Amino acid sequence: MSEFSELIKNFDKVRDYMRDFFIYGFKTRSDFQYKSLRTYDNEKRRIESWLGNLIRFDSSKKGKQIAISLDSGQLNSNPLYKAHKSKSFTDNDIRLHYFILDLLKNKTDLSVEEITDGIYDCYGVYFEPQIIRLKLKEYVSEGILLQRKSKKALLYSLSKDYPETFSSDKNGFIDAITYFSETAPFGVVGSYLLDQLNAKNDLFLYKHNFIVHTLEDHILLSLLNAMDEKCLVEIKNYGKKKNEVLIKGIPLNVFVSSQTGRRYIAMYLPSVKRFNSFRLDYIKSVEKLEVHEKYDYFKDKFEVNIAKCWGVSFGSINRTAQYEEFKMIIYIDEDKEQFILNRLKREGRNGVIERVCDNTYSYTVQVFDINEMMHWVKTFIGRIISIEGSNEHITRNFYHDINRMKKLYNKEN
């Protein structure tokens, strides 16, 4: 019964390859030196079978390159959910799945021995009671079966929680799940429910749909559980160079970038006595440790510090001052460009705006990392009269970039 065989053994391996294809893209077979080439071929074929025409191939001097190429705004459902819907199983697993569910469909409160005998009587197949006991325990943990104790025996029955019973308004329920499945963390749960209801998304398209989030949702779930229980965690963090680092910290908050869609976990690191943020897609695993007795204390400190974060950075570990100072003088036509002033107030993130003179305003702010705000600052180019700040390297680079731009446009003066 080899047709029941599946090669996948853990989600991390699939996640690594799908991330490399989707996020980094255009890698050749030889670029995956941290895994065997045979493993690469197996994972590539699996991903191709899931994603079909979303796989893009190209050729270069290095060899055949592969990437996942798609327009998320044109997708009805997240194709990466298919990675969650594959799992290793044996022929016994698949047979027991249908035997147990079919047997309990018409009978309830059966013991392990009664289920063992029932499978033999109905289907002519004998399984050791211990094998069936382990499968029943697994299905209870998954919520598929209910377990209750009667005297010394454990009795099993089918759970009554299935999609058709969740709401009397089936159409409204499907609409809500359809929206949830593509917009919320752990949206794969909604995708499973739609599969059970034999429904598909024919209502919504999303301009900014960060479908890659599903590859890191199991990391997010572990971190949220640790936050809920106020526990210390140890994360295995790594970057593009695949150098793994173990980091212990107290998880405090999850950031989501509205521009890139990247998600970060903000933690307090007792070893260096400071806050830091880590990208979720760079975290390979999370181990929950003991409850931290000062969790609430560091949570309160975090709430104070977050007001000085422009994005997710808490500044360099080598910084000499607690905050960096930044000041920008810009020109705003007070008669015609009130919308610019409104934008400055709306997007300024705790900055102070003052009128210097007619059509001239100053914007000053204290942040942990000026570098994070420079992309926003540069959107005012053409209005900026001057900038200055405590981080001279950043301001010097800004003026250097402006001078280079002048030369490109042949405006030397």
Instruction: Give the span between the Cα atoms of 222 and 274, in whole angstroms.
Output: 22
Q: Look up residue 368 and give its two tokens.
A: 């942990």
What per-residue confidence (pLDDT) applies to 265?
A: 96
pLDDT over threshold 50, residue 1: no
Q: Which residue has the tokens 């034999």?
A: 198
Residues contacting residue 9 through CB under 8 Å, at least 6 positions apart? 88
Model confidence over 200-219: pLDDT tens digits?
888 888 877 888 888 889 89
What per-residue confidence (pLDDT) applies to 330?
A: 95
Question: Is the distance from CB of 119 to CB of 133 less than 8 angstroms?
Answer: no
DSSP state string for 231-282: EEEEEEEE-TT--EEEEEEEEEEEEE-TTT--EEEEEEETTTTEEEEEEGGG
What per-residue confidence (pLDDT) applies to 338?
A: 93
pLDDT band at 242 (very low <50, low <70, confident <90, very high): low
41: left (phi over 0), alpha (psi -120 to 50) or beta: alpha
Model confidence over 391-408: pLDDT tens digits?
999 999 999 998 888 888
Which helix (H) or strand (E) segment holds residue 177: the answer is helix 170-183
Q: Which residues of 226-257 are buried (b: 16+ CB within 10 A; e: fewer)?
A: bbeebbbbebebeeeeeeeeebebbbbbbbee
pLDDT over threshold 50, residue 39: yes
Backbone phi and psi for residue 54, each to the nearest 5 degrees, phi listed first: -80, -10
Which helix (H) or strand (E) segment holds residue 388: the answer is strand 384-389
Model confidence over 41-67: pLDDT tens digits?
777 777 777 777 777 777 767 677 777
Sheet holding 27-28, edge to edge: 27-28, 63-68, 55-60
| 3-state helix vs strand vs coil in the chain, percent to 5 | 45, 25, 30
Mean pLDDT of the chain: 85
Mean pLDDT of 142-161: 89
